[in-house]
Amino acid sequence: MPSLSDLGEFGLIDRLAAALGPVASPGLVRGIGDDAAVYRIGTGPDGEARVHVVTTDALIEGVHFDRTFVPMDDLGEKAVAVNVSDVCAMNARPRYLTVALGVPDGFAVDDLDALYRGVRRACERYGCTVVGGDVTRSPALVLSIAAIGEAEEANVVYRNGAQVGDLLAVTGDLGASAVGLRLLRDPALRLEASAFPYPVRRHLAPTARLDAVEAFAHAGIRPSAMLDVSDGLASEIHHVCRNSGVGAVVQRSSVPIHPQTVAAAARLGVDPLGEAWWGGEDYELLLTLSAIDLSGLPPGLVTVVGRIVEADEGVTMEDDGQRSAFPGSGFDHFGEPHEELGIPSC
Amino acid sequence: MPSLSDLGEFGLIDRLAAALGPVASPGLVRGIGDDAAVYRIGTGPDGEARVHVVTTDALIEGVHFDRTFVPMDDLGEKAVAVNVSDVCAMNARPRYLTVALGVPDGFAVDDLDALYRGVRRACERYGCTVVGGDVTRSPALVLSIAAIGEAEEANVVYRNGAQVGDLLAVTGDLGASAVGLRLLRDPALRLEASAFPYPVRRHLAPTARLDAVEAFAHAGIRPSAMLDVSDGLASEIHHVCRNSGVGAVVQRSSVPIHPQTVAAAARLGVDPLGEAWWGGEDYELLLTLSAIDLSGLPPGLVTVVGRIVEADEGVTMEDDGQRSAFPGSGFDHFGEPHEELGIPSC
């Protein structure tokens, strides 16, 4: 019998999906295995088939956050954002949330108020509504959210749609959240955190890229594959390639990194690109699309970081024209933690 | 600033709902405050407006269960059942589930397999499907489930529909789960648990009453109000009366209690009726309906335990024709635990 560490997070998910048996349900378009599940709800007024998507992500004290340095309003906002990010990764818009809250003995009511202020702020930002919840005692603070989103079925984007010849692109910039966490986790460096507000805010209160979903709709384009960058760019590129049956060439120098991330990484003595590869919790979108579709997007919305190639070329990195092996996958919640980070990202 | 215990569970829920502000969302029929939220998804082939309902409930180790005596397959089954029970309380049928799992270090893979076997067993029983999830490390075992169900909008039953003159009825029998928990929690009595299999099974693997929802549909009747009995009959009757703006007279001698529950309560030296009032975790349905509708139901499906009266009569108990004060509400997850139970029910 293997241990959980032997299996690793993705081995474990495969095992659990197998334990649940074949999933067939009328109306179910996609079950376990993407950022969110997809099921039909009927047709809209225009005759288009409409779907809902549903996803769940829990934030657990001591694993995903440390109450000693995470403000409760940011935590509430983040718990919503990480779920909305999965909805966005399906090219859908969030509608309804449920919030199951586990509260430790002695937790202050004003901290709970702050937590909910953050939840509300995120709901206002993303246009979604908390419609139900559960509150219970718990040995550690737990926020478990499920998010339901809406889309036209024809617009939903999965992980497995990347085509050879597509460009590989990301929204925003990467590595900031991991660098922000390093600053916050070190009591000495925490004092300097105010010098690097960008990575710190990216860690504490990341933004789901609903604006990108809106921009795709406005431009009338649909990425061929998409997922959110929650476990590091390396991991997500491997996911999209494995799911789509393709390879990728990634331009090392193209990975977008914010100047403050670079500066903070220098202060920390770490490689900012490593933070982008393995750090996680960026909640940007990784997508593949054609060059024609790219040209229809607003300038600056995405950065091209590579291209999709045949599966037999594998996943490689290109640096000044030299190909090299691609770094391994990102954070595994059940594998050995990366020495540098210590506690797992979300 | 009050403490969480000062607020109590329901005060806390009111406070959090207020913190979230007024909830208005196109298509949202009912938000926080019932067993599940209700939102429109479109119209069915028959032109009937169709809705989804969504609910979430988390089971947390040390609060809702003790791993030393709860088999993992039963726990998986129960975590699904408590959510399906909330769907049934809306007179809806479960369709899709998400499962967020927090797993402590050192948790055995075969225990996880057993947990998922139980989840699968429940899904097969209730005809629903796990479509998504999250797996993460956690200081304690956490199962946080969200359940989405389906109904015609006209068939949904809320807590606030009880009418003066309606009968008050429950499915099945009550108090068994609380008695089962007492047997299991006492290492000496646990050895005798096999003499009382019924209450023990009712605690470990309760059944959501989807069969009652099916029976209502088959008989063509719709209860005027309904909720599931998760926190004890006393609490649920107060909920339905407060929400509906009515009073109730409850026949003390009518509350259905299983013979094994009575026998086990005698062995434990507790009042079985007290277990029904305050014990919780029965996951039966409490409903109000007209006498005519009652006559259309299969015999034995529900037991009439009282009647709905004007609000100014309050909630009272009737015993051999004598009215007396009704016992207080059921388990409050943040109030002082009942001395007898020690750990809160779900």
Over chain B, what is the mean pLDDT?
90
Is the domain of A131 the same as that of A243? no
Asked if B119 lies within 8 A of A52 by C-beta distance, the reply is no
Of the residues A155, A185, A209, the one at which a domain ends: A155
Other residues' Cβ atoms within 10 Å of the Cβ of residue A23:
16
Interchain contact, A4 vs B123, CB within 8 Å = no
Query: In this structure, are B218 and B253 located in the same domain?
Result: yes
pLDDT at B188: 86
Q: Are A112 and A217 members of one domain? A: no
pLDDT of residue A209: 98
**pLDDT exceeding 70 applies to what percent of chain A?**
93
Distance of residue B324 Cα from the nearest chain A Cα, in angstroms:
32
At A226-283, the pLDDT tens digits run 999 999 999 999 999 999 999 999 999 999 999 999 999 999 999 999 999 999 999 9
CB pairs under 8 A between A and B: 252
Question: Does residue A339 sit within a domain?
Answer: no
Higher pLDDT, B23 or A225: A225
Strands B37-43 and B49-60: antiparallel
Q: Are residues B171 and B142 in the same domain?
A: no
In a domain, B282, yes or no: yes
pLDDT category at A180 given cuts 50, 70, 90 is very high
Q: Is the model's pLDDT at A335 over the cut of 60?
A: no
Predicted local distance difference test score (pLDDT) of residue A5? 77
- pLDDT of residue A331 exceeding 60, the answer is no
**CB proximity under 8 Å: B 83-102 to A:** 95-96, 98-102
Q: Domain range for residue A264?
A: 167-325
Q: What is the CA radius of gyration of chain A?
A: 20
Given pLDDT bands bounded at 50, 70 and 90, which one contains residue B45?
Answer: confident
CB-CB contact of B275 with B219 (8 Å): no
The enclosing domain of A205 has a CATH number of 3.90.650.10
Task: Give residue B337's pLDDT band: very low, low, confident or very high (50, 70, 90).
Answer: very low
Interchain pair A139, B140: CB under 8 A: yes
Q: Do B112 and A52 touch (CB under 8 A)?
A: no
Residues 6+ apart with CB under 8 A from A325: A316, A317
Tokens of residue A213, six digits: 């979903």
Check: pTM over 0.80? Answer yes or no: yes
pLDDT digits (tens, 9 = 90+) for B186-232: 888 888 888 999 999 999 999 999 999 999 999 999 999 999 999 99
CB contact under 8 Å between B19 and A130, yes or no, is no
Q: Considering the domain boundaries, does residue B8 fall inside one? A: no
Q: Residue A329: its pLDDT value, please?
A: 52
Q: Given this model, what pLDDT does residue B23 score?
A: 66
Indicate if B201 and B288 belong to the same structural domain: yes
DSSP state of B90: T
Reported as a single tens digit per residue, the pLDDT across B128-185 is: 999 998 999 999 999 999 999 999 999 999 999 999 999 999 999 999 999 999 999 9
d(CA B25, CA A119): 16
Average pLDDT of chain A is 90
DSSP string, A216-261: HHHHT---SEEEEESS-HHHHHHHHHHHHT-EEEEEGGGS---HHH
Pairwise CB contact (< 8 Å): A117 & B334? no
Better-predicted residue by pLDDT, A256 or A324: A256
Cα distance from A146 to chain B (closest Cα, Å)?
7
A95-147 pLDDT, tens digit each: 999 999 999 999 999 999 999 999 999 999 999 999 998 999 999 999 999 99
Closest chain B residue to A101, measured at CA: B58
Same domain, B257 and B316: yes
Task: Among B30, B55, B56, B73, pick the best mutation site for testing chain A contact (most A Cβ within 10 A).
Answer: B56
Interface test with B, best of A35, A98, A158, A228 (most B CBs within 10 A): A98
Position B336 in a domain:
no
What is the percent of chain A where pLDDT is above 90? 77
Positive or negative: CA dihedral B15, B16, B22, B26 = negative
Encoding tokens for residue A73?
């309003």
Statement: residue B279 has pLDDT above 60:
yes
Same domain flag for B194 and B79: no
* Interface-testing mutation among A1, A13, A14, A20, with chain B (most B C-beta atoms within 10 A): A20
Q: Is the pLDDT of residue B336 over 50?
A: no
**Closest C-alpha to A20, from B122, B301, B181, B249:** B122
Residue A74 has pLDDT above 80, yes or no: yes
* pLDDT tens readout for residues B58-79: 999 999 999 989 999 999 999 9
Nearest to A4 among B57, B109, B139 (CB): B109
Which of B132, B155, B178 is at the close of a domain? B155
Whether A15 contacts chain B with CB within 8 A: yes
Q: Out of A32, A37, A120, whose CB is closest to B21?
A: A120
Confidence band for B87, pLDDT divided at 50, 70 and 90: very high
Per-residue pLDDT reduced to its tens digit, A15-53: 888 888 766 788 999 998 899 999 999 887 778 899 999
| pLDDT recorded at residue A337 | 38
CA-to-CA distance for A299 and A178, rounded, in angstroms?
26
Q: Which of A241-245, A272-276, B13-17, B104-108 has the lowest mean pLDDT?
A: B13-17
Choosing among A46, A77, A128, A134, which should be mutated to test the B contact, i.e. which has the most B CBs within 10 A? A134
Same domain, A80 and A215: no
What's the pLDDT at B190? Answer: 84
pLDDT of residue B328: 62
B138 and B210, same domain (yes or no): no
Residue B343 lies in a domain: no
Q: Among A155, A188, A216, which residue terminates a domain? A: A155
Both A304 and A244 in one domain: the answer is: yes
Provide, as residue numbers in chain A, all residues whose Cβ is less than 8 Å from the Cβ of B28.
96, 129, 131
Q: Which of A20, A58, A140 comes nearest B140 by C-beta? A: A140
Q: Which two tokens stand for residue A342?
A: 């210590």
Q: Please tell me the distance in Å from A37's CA to the nearest CA on chain B.
A: 6
Task: Indicate the number of domains in chain A.
Answer: 2
- Is residue B184 located within the same domain as residue B306? yes
Contact B142/A54, CB-based, under 8 Å?
no
Is A56 within 8 Å of B102 when comparing Cβ atoms? no
In a domain, residue B18? The reply is no
Residue B1 has a pLDDT of 67
Interchain CB distance below 8 Å, B42 and A39:
no
A339: confidence class by pLDDT, cuts 50, 70, 90? very low
pLDDT of residue A89: 98
CATH number at residue B93: 3.30.1330.10
- Candidate from A15, A23, A129 with C-beta closest to B129: A23
B130 touches chain A (CB under 8 A): yes
The answer to the question of residue A335 being in a domain is no
d(CA A343, CA A346): 10
User: Which one of A6, A14, A136 makes the best mutation probe of the B interface by having the most chain B beta carbons within 10 Å?
Assistant: A136
In a domain, B174, yes or no: yes
Residues B147 and B172 in one domain: no
